[in-house]
Amino acid sequence: MKKQQSNIILANWKMNLSTFESVGLAKKIVKGWSEIKTKDNKKPDFELVLCPSFPAIALVEQVIKKSDIKLGAQNVFWKQVGPYTGEVSPEVLREIGVSYVVVGHSERRQYLKETDVMVQHKLLAVLAQSLTPVLCVGETFSERQAGHKNIVVGRQVQAALAGVELGIEQQLVVAYEPVWVIGSGQAITHQEMVETAKVIKQVLIDMWPLEVVERQVRIIYGGSVDANNIMTCVGEEPLSGVLVGGASQDYNRLLPLLKQLAKA
């Protein structure tokens, strides 16, 4: 099947870096990224997105603004303005230069008790600001052991997207992240990634026209992606990129990963 969109790699720095470390890492990435592009003398066929913690977003934006690296947020609230102490609105994220917003990450579902309903509210609020949601879905180990992986993933996708319509200019990223694989150091097999991405694509096609899905949605994989396994995570439809946690937070781990992708 013909590839519709370029790959995307999102670096999810989680709560692991100080603002100082975030800025330092962003500076190294800008330099390394530009060297990769100069060396190959061609634009690598993927988009690079950095997702710092909230206090670091505006600082990292200053570092990357002259490059083609994009900015992502790890979370958002579903209202644009109002008395919601401690929350951050999609409108403000757009104002400071964010393009992508992660919604429904399993760590938030687990520790902050985010529900499918909250995830849908967030997704809609993000789309309303013409930002691109990165919807995270994935099964726990016990759900997988019980043979419910596809049901759980399909239900999460449906719950987040039921009734949602993508406008012609709007984009969506769906990240399949098996919860038990995140941070484990051991990614699942290429075959399993593709199989689950196909399940997700089918759920999307049941909701939206095929051309909308192929033109406006990217399905990506996340969970212990690193330089050693990155090439098993891309290159076969419908997989269109990766969400990288641990290996994106250390320049010496991220650079080889980017180089592998650029060679592909």
Closest CB 41 distance from ligand PGA, rounded Å: 30
**Binding pattern for the stretch 232-251 against ligand PGA, x by CB under 6 A and - elsewhere:** -----------xxxxx----
Alpha helices (runs of H) in 147-189, residue ranges in sequence order = 149-161
Q: Considering the candidates 47, 107, 139, 177, report the single residue annotated as catalytic.
A: 177
What proportions of the chain, in percent to the nearest 5, are helix, strand and coil? 45, 15, 40
Asked if residue 243 lies in contact with residue 18, where contact means CB atoms within 8 angstroms, the answer is: no
Q: Does residue 55 belong to the site contacting ligand PGA (CB under 6 A)?
A: no
Choose which of 120, 224, 229, 240 interacts with ligand PGA (CB under 6 A).
224
- Name which of 139 and 177 has its Cβ closer to ligand PGA: 177
State the burial class of residue 42 (Cβ atoms within 10 Å of its Cβ: 0-12, 13-18, 19+).
Answer: exposed
Residue 148 appears among annotated catalytic residues: no
Dihedral sign from CA coordinates of 24, 29, 30, 32: positive
User: What's the CA angle centered on 255, arms 242 and 225, to 5 degrees?
Assistant: 30
Q: Does 12 bind ligand PGA (CB under 6 A)?
A: yes
Subset of 160-179 contacting ligand PGA (CB under 6 A): 177
Cβ distance to ligand PGA smaller for residue 138 or 166:
138
Q: By CB under 6 A, name the one of 183, 195, 206, 263 that touches ligand PGA.
A: 183
| DSSP H or E stretch at residue 19 | helix 19-40
Q: Is 121 among the residues known to form the active site? A: no
- The catalytic residue among 47, 105, 107, 114 is 105
3-class SS of residue 47: strand
- C-beta of 244: minimal distance to ligand PGA in Å? 5
Provide the annotated active-site residues: 105, 177
Q: What residues line the site for ligand PGA (CB under 6 A)?
A: 12, 177, 182-183, 222-225, 243-247
